[in-house]
Amino acid sequence: MSDLCRLTIHEARDLLRRGEISAVELTRAHLERIETVDARVRAYLHVDADLALAQAEDADRRRAAGEDDSLLGIPLAVKDIITVQGMPATAGSRILEGFMPPYEATVSRRLRKRGAVFLGKTNLDEFAMGWSTENSAFFTSRNPYALDRVPGGSSGGSAAAVAADEALVALGTDTGGSVRQPASWTNTVGLRPSYGRVSRWGVIAFASSLDQVGPLTKDVRDNAILLEAIAGHDPRDSTTMPEPVPRYEDLLEGGVQGMHFGLPREYFVKNIHPGVRRAILQAVDKLVELGATVEETHLHYTKYGMPVYYLVGTAELSANLARYDGVRYGFSAGAANMWENYRQTRGRGFGQEVKRRIILGAYALSAGYYDQYYLKAQKVRTLIREEFETAFETFDALVAPVAPVPPFKIGQSPTDPVELYLTDVLTLPTALAGLPCISVPAGFMEDEGESLPVGLQIIGKPFDEATVLRIAYAFEQATNWRQVRPQLA
């Protein structure tokens, strides 16, 4: 049964179509896998075996009746910031502990309609604010490739579930790098779609102009399949664009022969680990070997990505999180006085990182500072986006590292918040510009005697996920890094 958990979507799809396995068998195998290894990996906050098996039985009935779909009977996991009706939605926070949403996110509803099986909800940094899942209010997830290390964040639980074969695929969210960074650190494929490609309706908001749902998968083909399923205009989310959704799986072939890629010098920051640098430069050599040309380029506004993000993002989250007051839903401190109850509820319900960012955002929006901080940050954000647009007049795509350092050991993350924020320094500018980016396995590096994954970041033009996936697929097929699986006996 454990062999079934190693399958990809497209492999499982073929077996299901031929009748060699059933959706129930596939789901039971994953539930058994979760029971066997999740006590060590700790990817899930909530598992619903009864719901999963009921959905699997329904998928088998639908297939027997002649229905055929790439996702029919496919077991998957969902980051616990995305609402799924019938399952709790905590956003990794005590302030939402026990909350059962009366609605379902558009992405979840689309997957349910196509017959996907929801195994459960995965762990994350509280309200998606973090790099490691150490900011989860409940526990820290572990990296399947090195159980003493973090899997990244904030979608660390989703990435760990896929890497540990506890789900065929998973959904995460990427606000500043929260799909790509954990993908890089767990040897999985993680895509951040263009802003407006995937609906945010039903996703618990962090920063509304930055949040995007993205797939975490074992290979690029699966990523294309899952993206097609969740993408598209949604009348309930006015930020989604009425762009047609291509059949991404059909556009993977073609290779990179004749393509011209930019290698931004600013992405090789001074604190980049030598092992990361080596793996990325070897990946670039592989792209050249496949027929592409790679030219060093400059993105001068990259250095402003972190301060701009931590002004824009915190300003938006301070407004979004004002609704958690202990009155209508979620945790309430139960104090007799309304204002005291409000103070205690938020003081005890939110973790330190969330409170730190709320304070920073409220300050940036406060009277006398709005123009000086938030408005100026939005102007620099426009310059960052325009610089990318200029680069894409020359290049088909940009290639770069995802994270400058390998996953750190649990409990040994930097204590200085600014030093921690630098973990996302290579993913923040693209998020601010709303660009599609993917992390694809690019090798392993040694750190303190452990072999740790490294991801290659491919950055594309707005709404050109097809090219990003095509490049990633060509690189993946020319290497075997995705076949290196963690040893979880």
Q: Report how far residue 160's alpha carbon sits from residue 39's, in angstroms, rounded to the nearest whole number.
A: 12
* Active site positions, annotated: 79, 154, 178
Q: Mapped to the 3 state alphabet, what secondary structure does the chain carry?
A: CHHHHCCCHHHHHHHHHHCCCCHHHHHHHHHHHHHHHHHHHCCEEEECHHHHHHHHHHHHHHHHCCCCCCCCCCEEEEECCECCCCCCCCCCCHHHCCCCCCCCCHHHHHHHHCCCEEEEEECCCHHHCCCCCCCCCCCCCCECCECCECCCCCCHHHHHHHHCCCCCEEEEEECCCCCHHHHHHHCCEEEECCCCCECCCCECCCCCCCCEEEEEECCHHHHHHHHHHHECCECCECCCCCCCCCCHHHHCCCCCCCCEEEEEHHHCCCCCCHHHHHHHHHHHHHHHHCCCEEEEECCHHHHHHHHHHHHHHHHHHHHHHHHCCCCCCCCCCCCCCHHHHHHHHHHHHCCHHHHHHHHHHHHHHCCCCHHHHHHHHHHHHHHHHHHHHHHCCCCCEEEEECCCCCCCECCCCCCCHHHHHHHHCCCHHHHHHCCCEEEEEEEEEEECCEEEEEEEEEECCCCCHHHHHHHHHHHHHCCCHHHCCCCCC
